[in-house]
Amino acid sequence: MPYFVYKVFNNRTFEPVQSFPKFREAKELTRSLRTEVGEDDPFTYRMIFARHEAEAERLLSQKREPRPLGEDS
């Protein structure tokens, strides 16, 4: 399965940037693109692992629960 790099806007719209067969290539591009993003820019870059572009966009549009910081008492 390929890795997809997307430009994700604040209004939850997506713009595909590029796809890669290997994690390292996708990670390097995502990191380099993120260094170019300013604080006032209305977008960020995300990398996602999916079978195809439609699945990647579906996964990006899902609201994710925050990761728990510790065990519940």
pLDDT, residue 69, reads 78
* DSSP code for 41: -
pLDDT, residue 38, reads 87
Nearest to 47 by CA among 33, 62, 68, 65: 33
CA separation for the pair 19, 24 (Å, rounded): 12
pLDDT of 1-60, one tens digit each? 899 999 999 888 999 999 999 999 999 999 999 999 888 889 999 999 999 999 999 999
pLDDT, residue 23, reads 96
Residue spans of beta strands (DSSP E) within the chain: 3-9, 14-20, 43-49
